[in-house]
Structure formats: structure tokens, C-alpha cells
């Protein structure tokens, strides 16, 4: 664990470096595209295809969800983060994080792990994403009850961990 903070509303926010697919929280957040085409295994892909057929493409505001398949989690929440350069990226990223947290609550989750959404192939600058993600998590819980107790931000590589730790210290 890199850092841990207890929010005034009772939640624990953690920064960890590691592999998101090894997390054992109730749910993980998958950085998805709007059609939920991914490499998450046949069971998760089949459920993703069924989701799109039933509900249409996934938006920033409203992620999809599937079972955890063979992963050690109950659910995978498929959140669509913004592509850098498409405009209004901060608001879209905040909506994706807010949507993932709300979906976890609707599913009855007590814990969730999420990546630094949009900072990979979608090109969102890490420093900016760190500020938006951390702020959105804190704002989500301010002044309202939630069954969600633990939020883990799982950072894949040391440069991302350094950036999030810097933003953590500033906020």
C-alpha cells in the first residue's frame, strides 16, 4: 500500500501499486470502450455483448457491469473514460468515476478497486487525472450515506504511483 486516508464520511481511500486483475475487492473498474470489447475472458465478454444488446453502448455517465468471471471479484464495472483531445475531458472523467462508484453502491459492494482511468491509451495526462479522480471520490461521499467502505486506486507503474502520491499530498 502506498497511502491510506480515512474520509470524514467513514470510507477508506487507498493508493496501491499493482495489478488490478489481482484485486480481491467486491468489484474492479475496467477501463472500457463504449462497446465493451476487451480481453476479459469469454464469460465476461459474453456478458458484455449481452449488456450492449440490452442497453446500448456505454456512456461516461453510466457504466455497464458484469460478473467477475474467473477474476477474484464479484463484479467488473466497465467505465468509459474520455479520450484526451475530445473536449470537456475533466467533466467526462469525473462522470465516469462517479458512475463507477454509484454502480458499485447499486450492486451492494462494500469495496471497489479502480485504475487511473483514461491515462493509458486514451492519453489523459496523469497529473490532471490524479486530481480529478481523487477529488471526485472525495466529493462522491461528502454529505451522504454509502454502503461502499473501501475505494482502492490501483496504479500499474511507478510513474503513475508517483504522480498520484503527489496529488494525494496536495489534496
Note the CATH number of domain 3-170.
3.40.220.10
Residue 99 pLDDT: 97
Q: How many Å apart are CA 160 and CA 127, to the nearest integer?
A: 9
Per-residue pLDDT of 71-119, as tens digits, reads 999 999 999 999 999 999 999 999 999 999 999 999 999 999 999 999 9
SS3 102: helix
Q: Per-domain residue ranges for the chain?
A: 3-170
Here the cell at position 97 is 468515476
Q: Which residues of the chain have pLDDT under 70?
A: 40, 170-171
Here the cell at position 66 is 458484469
Q: How many Å apart are CA 151 and CA 137, to the nearest integer?
A: 8
Q: For residue 62, give the DSSP letter.
A: S
| 52 sits in which H/E element | helix 42-55
Residue 170 pLDDT: 65
Residue 146 pLDDT: 94
Taking CA 132 as the corner, what is the angle to CA 38 and CA 102, rounded to the nearest 5 degrees? 60
Residue 145 pLDDT: 87
Evaluate whether 78 touches 64 at the Cβ level (below 8 Å).
yes
Query: Could you give the count of Cα atoms lying within 13 Å of 44 in the half-sphere of its Cβ?
Result: 26
Residue 14 pLDDT: 97
SS3 159: helix
Q: How far is CA 132 from the centre of its chain?
A: 12
Q: pTM here?
A: 0.95
Amino acid at each position: 500500500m502506498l497511502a491510506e486516508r480515512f474520509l470524514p464520511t467513514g470510507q477508506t481511500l487507498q493508493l496501491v501499486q499493482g495489478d488490478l486483475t489481482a484485486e480481491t475487492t467486491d468489484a474492479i473498474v475496467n477501463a472500457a470502450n463504449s462497446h465493451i470489447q476487451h480481453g476479459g475472458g469469454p464469460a465476461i465478454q459474453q456478458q458484455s455483448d449481452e449488456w450492449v444488446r440490452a442497453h446500448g453502448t456505454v456512456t461516461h455517465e453510466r457504466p455497464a457491469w458484469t460478473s467477475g468471471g474467473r477474476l477474484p471479484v464479484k463484479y467488473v464495472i466497465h467505465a468509459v473514460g474520455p479520450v484526451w483531445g475530445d473536449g470537456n475531458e475533466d467533466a467526462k472523467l469525473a462522470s465516469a468515476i462517479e458512475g463507477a462508484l454509484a454502480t458499485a453502491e447499486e450492486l451492494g459492494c462494500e469495496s471497489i478497486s479502480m485504475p487511473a482511468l483514461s491515462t493509458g491509451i486514451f492519453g489523459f495526462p496523469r497529473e490532471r487525472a490524479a486530481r480529478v479522480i481523487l477529488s471526485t471520490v472525495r466529493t462522491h461521499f461528502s454529505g451522504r450515506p454509502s454502503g461502499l467502505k473501501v475505494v482502492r486506486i490501483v496504479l500499474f507503474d511507478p510513474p503513475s504511483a508517483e504522480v498520484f502520491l503527489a496529488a494525494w499530498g496536495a489534496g
